[in-house]
Chains A and B, each alone.
Chain A
Amino acid sequence: MFDRTMSTLHPEHSIRASHGLLSASDLTVTLDGKTLLDIPSIRIDAGGPTIVMGPNGAGKSLLLRLLHGLVLPSRGSIFMQGDPLDAKRRRRQAMVFQSPVILRRSVRANVEFALAAHGVPRARRRSEAIRLLTVAGLQDKARQSAPSLSGGERQKLTVVRALATRPEVLFLDEPTSNLDPASVMAIENLIMNASAEGTKIVLVTHDIGQAGRLGEDVLFLHQGRITEQTPLQAFTVSPKSQEAAAYLSGELLI
């Protein structure tokens, strides 16, 4: 779906490719006179997962919501493959929120809901939901009420539900915080499978290990500004920005 090699080998191949998968320039979000995000330019390319890091309150969740079209910028606009992010293009994205939103119905119905919202015919929803739940190891819980799942299972369900819509871009906002190692691994597997199948992953995490296991590049946010966007290897060894260096060494950033 996203042929990275092609666009790097032949930059002239398509004008669209030069825009990146997601891009924006001169982007700001202001609320009550406070500038929450100020991004002169951002570009997220197709390919391996992009990790978004930064201290609490830096604006990571806000950036994801902005790129997903849930918040409108005060200035600037978002482009997907060079075209303005409209309702049609937003439907090619999905998001897993920082606090999982579980519908008060069965596990299977949660997945079927996403399938229905994306126009999958009723006759195919059940089998498709079961297939997706099986991949995540949740098939035995299909008929259980979703709110009664454990934390790890709930988060797995939100990832499965987001993937049910076959998104081209999947935003994940700290999907494994508060989970035990087994659940973290299960969710990372789901993410890696999706990535391998061509879904662009944009993942917020504070877990350097996770960033290393999943990420291709890192976008570091501090006080609503992107201080750097660096390939993962380089980022963990020697970040370019002072803020990222301080963050990685555990210093308190405000």
Chain B
Amino acid sequence: MNNFAESFSVSLRLVFLGDAELWAIVLLSLQVSLTAVILACLIGMPFGAMLAVTRFPGRRPLVVTVNALMGLPPVVVGLLVYLMLSNSGPLGVLQLLYTPSAMIIAQLILVAPIIAALTRQTVESLNEEYADQLRSLGVTHLRSVPTLLWDGRFSLATAVLAGFGRAIAEVGAVMIVGGNINHVTRVMTTTIALETSKGNLALALALGAILILIALAVNAAVTLLDAVSRQVSYV
């Protein structure tokens, strides 16, 4: 069994000397999570904005539901996607189980409510401020959505980063639907879980360090955006 110091020095060598297997895993993680976040934006932003500017019966419960979905447990999402995609499931014919696509779907389900809920919140409060002015200029209703999204861009970017942070750090869902197959569906989090249980602490630590760096970078970006937006729009 490796001792900690030894694992640590091996992990440093992995990171800095560029271990091909390690970087393949990092790359796949980024590919899966970024794709999921982009899809989540394409779905969540128009949906959230629509929720913010329209009034229809059942809107309130829908808003509450979307907010609640932000807290979906990843393992449960993994289980549900697994049931959908498994051979006997309704989407079994697609043969997506244990592929990166399955992981993207699972992360999409986790991230889309975050993007939708935060977009709804941002656009709704901005619309309270803008509505009269936009109507005065003849920009009505759904046509005001692009304006509201653009002027809410800093808050929305924060929402996107929050979604990405959730996707990249998530382990339960991708483990279940991806299966953690070597060279196919192995991402940072699932590899850390597996390698730790096998006692291969060096690779786990190296990936852990990279994951922490990514998390820190995301947080730094959020803080920076916040500062920039404050400076740009102090009221």
State the CA gap A149–B233 with chains docked (Å).
Answer: 9
Taking the closest CB of chain B, its distance from the CB of A235, in whole angstroms, is 28
A91 at the interface (CB under 8 A from B): yes
Complex partner residue of A118 from B130, B137, B152, CB under 8 angstroms:
B137
State the CA gap A103–B235 with chains docked (Å).
Answer: 11
Residue among B129, B135, B138, B233 with most chain A CB within 10 A: B138
Complex partner residue of A117 from B130, B139, B231, B235, CB under 8 angstroms:
B139
Instruction: List residues of chain B with CB within 8 A of the CB of A90.
Output: 138
State the CA gap A70–B234 with chains docked (Å).
Answer: 28
State the CA gap A114–B147 with chains docked (Å).
Answer: 12
Main DSSP-derived SS at the B contact region: helix
Known contacts A105-B151, A147-B232: does B138 contact A117 (CB below 8 Å)? yes
Of residues 122 to 168 in B, which have CB atoms within 8 Å of A's CB atoms?
129-130, 132-133, 135-139, 147, 150-152
Q: Are A91 and B138 in contact (CB under 8 A)?
A: yes
Complex partner residue of A145 from B132, B136, B139, B232, CB under 8 angstroms:
B232
Known contacts A101-B129, A101-B132, A104-B151: does B232 contact A165 (CB below 8 Å)? no
Interface size counted on chain A using CB atoms at 8 A: 23
A78 at the interface (CB under 8 A from B): no
Instruction: List residues of chain A with CB within 8 A of the CB of B130.
Output: 101, 103
Taking the closest CB of chain A, its distance from the CB of B22, in whole angstroms, is 42
Taking the closest CB of chain A, its distance from the CB of B191, in whole angstroms, is 42
Complex partner residue of A94 from B132, B136, B232, CB under 8 angstroms:
B136
Q: Are B132 and A103 in contact (CB under 8 A)?
A: no
Q: Are B235 and A70 in contact (CB under 8 A)?
A: no
Instruction: List residues of chain B with CB within 8 A of the CB of A162.
Output: 136
Instruction: List residues of chain B with CB within 8 A of the CB of A247.
Output: none
Of residues 217 to 235 in B, which have CB atoms within 8 Å of A's CB atoms?
231-235
Taking the closest CB of chain B, its distance from the CB of A152, in whole angstroms, is 15
State the CA gap A68–B136 with chains docked (Å).
Answer: 8
Interface size counted on chain B using CB atoms at 8 A: 18
A1 at the interface (CB under 8 A from B): no
Taking the closest CB of chain A, its distance from the CB of B69, in whole angstroms, is 28
Smallest Cβ-Cβ distance to B135: which chain A residue = A70
Instruction: List residues of chain B with CB within 8 A of the CB of A118.
Output: 137-138
Taking the closest CB of chain A, its distance from the CB of B49, in whole angstroms, is 16
Instruction: List residues of chain B with CB within 8 A of the CB of A103.
Output: 130, 147, 151
Smallest Cβ-Cβ distance to A87: which chain B residue = B138
Taking the closest CB of chain B, its distance from the CB of A147, in whole angstroms, is 4
Instruction: List residues of chain A with CB within 8 A of the CB of B129.
Output: 101
Smallest Cβ-Cβ distance to A115: which chain B residue = B137
State the CA gap A128–B212 with chains docked (Å).
Answer: 50
State the CA gap A222–B31 with chains docked (Å).
Answer: 65
A88-109 Cβ-contact flags toward B at 8 Å (1 or 0): 0011011101000101110000
Of residues 107 to 133 in B, which have CB atoms within 8 Å of A's CB atoms?
129-130, 132-133
Instruction: List residues of chain B with CB within 8 A of the CB of A94.
Output: 136-137
Smallest Cβ-Cβ distance to A105: which chain B residue = B151
A65 at the interface (CB under 8 A from B): yes
Instruction: List residues of chain A with CB within 8 A of the CB of B234.
Output: 147-148
A113 at the interface (CB under 8 A from B): yes
Taking the closest CB of chain B, its distance from the CB of A64, in whole angstroms, is 10
Instruction: List residues of chain A with CB within 8 A of the CB of B132.
Output: 65, 70, 95, 97, 101
> 21 A–B contact pairs at CB < 8 A?
A68-B136, A70-B132, A70-B136, A90-B138, A94-B137, A95-B136, A97-B136, A101-B129, A103-B130, A103-B147, A104-B152, A104-B233, A113-B137, A114-B137, A117-B139, A145-B232, A147-B232, A147-B235, A148-B232, A148-B233, A165-B137
Residues of chain A having any CB pair with chain B under 8 Å: 65, 68, 70, 87, 90-91, 93-95, 97, 101, 103-105, 113-114, 117-118, 145, 147-148, 162, 165
New A-B pairs, 17, CB < 8 Å, besides A101-B129, A165-B137: A70-B132, A87-B138, A94-B137, A95-B132, A103-B130, A104-B152, A104-B232, A104-B233, A113-B137, A117-B137, A117-B139, A145-B232, A147-B234, A147-B235, A148-B231, A148-B232, A148-B234
Residues of chain B having any CB pair with chain A under 8 Å: 129-130, 132-133, 135-139, 147, 150-152, 231-235
